[in-house]
């Protein structure tokens, strides 16, 4: 069995949004993209972060493969280069995933099925910013989580699959920023790992839409 097949099997059931949401329309412009949440007043306007303020990100290194901090920080840098979003590195923390948090930095951590019930076999990671703050009628993301499979990343690290590790982190951070899954295997937001390892045209278009929303006042 090739590495790619193993990877596809491991990560093939990526129902990884922190909060399941009804199907959203997929937009086709230059590639395909979809939003996790849209404003109640306009289904074409996505919910996302305020790109005029840095998004603080922290890492819990427990159960992480060697090099995890560089992996996450490189992915954040990649996203900064192709979007309007800016990240502030908040360092290492000991906090564990706690869905339901309403404020605080985006937490990246590594977890097992014992700790995170949705981290079932075959899920490479979970990601999302499910909690938003209403300001007038506009909703904003204020915190989020990326929870990565400790066993899957240990396997990828042992196999030297750096590109796939980076792709999964980018995919989950895409959820954090507000992107949903798309069917196209040309996009990193495709729900099954093992396809493209690079951000696609639709990913970039979706990130541009997210980053073009007005700033919070």
**Nearest-approach distance from CB 87 to Zn ion, in angstroms:** 19
> Based on CB atoms, which residue is closest to Zn ion, 14 or 164?
14
16 binds Zn ion (CB under 5 A): yes
Q: Which stretch binds Zn ion (CB under 5 A): 16-24, 69-77, 91-99, 161-169?
A: 16-24
**Nearest-approach distance from CB 175 to Zn ion, in angstroms:** 6
Tell which phi-psi region holds residue 63, choosing left (phi > 0), alpha (psi between -120 and 50) or beta: left
145 binds Zn ion (CB under 5 A): no
Q: Which stretch binds Zn ion (CB under 5 A): 6-14, 29-37, 115-123, 160-168?
A: 6-14
Give me the residue whose beta carbon is nearest to Zn ion.
16
Beta strands in 102-182 (DSSP E): 106-111, 125-135, 138-149
> Based on CB atoms, which residue is closest to Zn ion, 138 or 179?
179
Report how many residues bind Zn ion under the rule CB under 5 A.
2
Nearest residue to 87 (alpha-carbon basis) of 188, 169, 199: 169
| CA dist., res. 118 & res. 116, Å (int) | 6
**Cα–Cα distances in angstroms (integers) from residue 61 to residues 6, 64, 93, 110, 206, in the given order:** 25, 5, 8, 7, 30
**Nearest-approach distance from CB 108 to Zn ion, in angstroms:** 15
Contacts of 209 (CB under 8 A, 6+ apart): 33, 35, 46
> Which residues contact Zn ion (rule: CB under 5 A)?
14, 16
């Amino acid at each position: 069995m090739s590495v790619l097949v193993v990877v596809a099997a491991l990560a093939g059931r990526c129902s990884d949004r922190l909060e399941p949401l009804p199907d959203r329309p997929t937009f086709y412009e230059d590639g395909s993209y979809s939003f996790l949440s849209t404003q109640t007043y306009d289904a074409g306007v996505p919910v996302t972060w305020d790109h005029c303020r840095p998004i603080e990100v922290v890492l819990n290194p427990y159960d992480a493969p060697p090099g995890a901090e560089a992996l996450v920080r490189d992915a954040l840098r990649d996203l900064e280069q192709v979007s309007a979003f800016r990240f502030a590195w908040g360092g290492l923390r000991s906090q564990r995933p706690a869905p339901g948090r309403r404020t605080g930095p985006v937490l990246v951590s590594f977890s097992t099925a014992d700790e995170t019930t949705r981290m079932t076999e075959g899920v490479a990671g979970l990601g999302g910013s499910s909690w938003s703050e209403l300001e007038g009628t506009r909703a904003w993301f204020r915190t989020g989580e990326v929870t990565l499979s400790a066993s899957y990343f240990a396997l990828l690290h042992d196999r030297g699959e750096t590109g796939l590790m980076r792709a999964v982190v980018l995919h989950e951070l895409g959820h954090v920023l507000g992107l949903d899954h798309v069917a196209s295997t040309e996009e990193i937001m495709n729900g099954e790992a093992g396809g493209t390892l690079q951000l696609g045209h639709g990913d970039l278009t979706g990130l541009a839409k997210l980053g073009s929303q007005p700033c919070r006042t």
